[in-house]
Amino acid sequence: MSQSTAATTPLIVPELVRLDVSAGADKQAVINYLADVVAASGRADTTEGLAADALAREATAPTGIPGGIAIPHCRSPHVLAPSLGFARLTDPVDFGAADERGADLVFMIAAPAGADDFHLQLLAKLARGLMKSEFTDALRAAATPEEVARLVTEQVQPELLDDGAAPAPAQEGAAAAAAPGGTGRVIVGVSSCPTGIAHTFMAAEALEQAGKERGVTVRIEGQGSGKIDWLDADLVQSADAVILAHDLPVKGMERFAGKPVIDVGVKAAVNDAGSLVDQALAAIDDPNAKRVAAGGAGGEAEGEEEHVHWARRLQRSVMTGVSYMIPFVAAGGLLTALGFLFGGYDITNNASNIVTGSSLWNLPDLANPDMAAPNALGGSPLMAYIGAVFFMLGSTAMNFLVPALAGYTAFGLAGRPGIAPGFAMGALSVAIGAGFIGGLIGGLLAGYMASWLAGLDVPRWLRSLMPVVIIPLFTTLVVGSLMYMVLGNPLASFMNWLSDSLTSMAGSGSAIFLGVILGLMMCFDLGGPVNKAAYLFATAGLSAATTASYEIMAAVMAAGMVPPLALALATTVRPGLFTEVERDNGRAAWLLGASFISEGAIPFAAADPLRIIPPAMAGGAVTGALSMALHVGSRAPHGGIFVFFAIDNLLGFFISIIAGMLVTALLVLVLKQARARKLVAEAAAEAAAAA
């Protein structure tokens, strides 16, 4: 739907409104009721799909707010048009509001999975409106669905009404600080929630309203799912304090460096915005108040980092490094695999000689006997040249693997000031032979030191130099010296031992045991930290270009494909054991599994972990063991069956995957069937007891 069309389509119509109804005794029943209202109006394809997505969002955090209001919401592929379902309940239902009051006004915000910025802006207006008592009072007093639809449309789409007029824009910029009756104090901030629709903008409205009540200028930037309306730079510069009400990392944190900060979750602002404004006002005059770190601390405030457990912070930074490294591995690994496809297995020996000094305007003499390429695709010298180009490109990209891992691990700990020293430690690790282990340790050390420097209380005139000069300079100097003079040789020796050990394991019984361990890790948390640790271990070894490293990569990729493929098979063979939503997920899991996207099994594991994860681990272990036993190798780090050309022993690759897939699917079906029989027996027992 184009924005111009969306502008003339109302979010709410009388058919979406239900007044003075009893929708059930709990929030699950109310959500199902409103999902049915939206689907019955033709704005969602299924009641079940929309309800499942809304309930999944509800499980992450309650959507009740003080004052008898609830706003269950979600973005769902089952929504055909952005909609607001509304029910005024005769029997209030508990949605987890802080004041423990049941909700009698319930909105369901249903946004399409690909909702554009325009739709999200309209939903943000509703969220802000629900924080105004005159709006909610009018909803409670409305006599007809048409009146409710008009009230809501006046709030979110006044241009659709014949007599409507868009409200005047709020004051922005430094001039807002001079609002009549104000104290001259200016507070700015950011709000965000996981979905980025409702609580994000309700928190912003609540804080701004609390500021008005106190004669203080408060401007909050809602970092929602759509386009961000950034705070005016002059206003930020003149602000006396910052309020961060967020459940996601704050974007552009460095803008607030050095300012007193109140850092809370988004619900705290919705529930008691006045208290937060009072705390911010007190922090302005408190020289010991917490302040935003000079480097932004990775997009989070100093205060939040103090309350994050060190192990959680360490894990999060390593996962950040791995996530940013993967594109380098994917690009480099796939290009290298294409180089072998076109240039032959021996392209590593002559790629540099073929490419050096040549270009499209200066092709090598392909007729020269020295260009003979019997192992290239079709024995063609031209294919050898193309393969050499691909191989050199891939090798260049792979050279960034360790620096990217180290740089973005440091970024995860210290924000932008950690990137430069982190990259330097990664490059240094490669130079001294410490490999990815050295890069990981160097990145962590650089991140911790940069974070410590960012937290120092320095004079105001020095703060602007900290993130761009002082922190990178001193971090690189200190951590680099430590790596060179103390850690370099031990780490290099460890990497040599690890490489020699892996090489010796190839073709031995130990390789099968290694395959079992890697398979278990890949299927334990399906894309989580354990899965990523196994994947990092495999991809980091690809740069060694040894038989052992290729076999480890193949075992990891094959095992990671098993859970989604097995669940796709299980839902196809016995669909009656699964819900409609799970059957839909099962159809999508065929492609996800074939592409080596382990996360395709997460919806199943989240709904029934005890009957999904153990079978997945069993199948992954079988696949990993078989892959190593059959000496399957992969020169590509990702792609599943679509990088077949990069697989050594392709038949063994498929045998390994199919075996693990059958084991997992069979175990899942056995466990699901046992549960179904138990439920039938319990129902029969209850019926007999009732009789």
Q: Catalytic amino acids? A: 73, 193
Q: What gap in Å lies between CA 285 and CA 278, rounded to an integer? A: 12
What CA–CA distances, in Å, run from 418 to 155, 427, 442, 640?
A: 44, 14, 11, 34
What CA–CA distances, in Å, run from 589 to 304, 561, 565, 600?
A: 37, 10, 6, 5
Q: What gap in Å lies between CA 455 and CA 452, rounded to an integer? A: 5
CA 586 to chain centre: 22
Q: Is 367 buried (19+), middle (13-18) or exposed (0-12) by CB count in 10 A?
A: exposed
Q: What gap in Å lies between CA 170 and CA 315, rounded to an integer? A: 41
CB 455 within 8 A of CB 417: no
Token representation of residue 526: 């399906």
Q: What gap in Å lies between CA 198 and CA 224, rounded to an integer? A: 9
CB 454 within 8 A of CB 504: no
CA 613 to chain centre: 21
Token representation of residue 651: 């038949």
Residue positions counted in the chain: 691
CB 398 within 8 A of CB 314: no
Contacts of 2 (CB under 8 A, 6+ apart): none
Q: Which has the closest alpha carbon to 200: 111, 101, 104? A: 111
Helix axes 471-482, 435-454, angle to 10 degrees: 140
Beta-bridge mates of residue 19 = 88
The total of other beta-carbon atoms located within 10 Å of residue 430's CB is 19
CB 94 within 8 A of CB 29: no
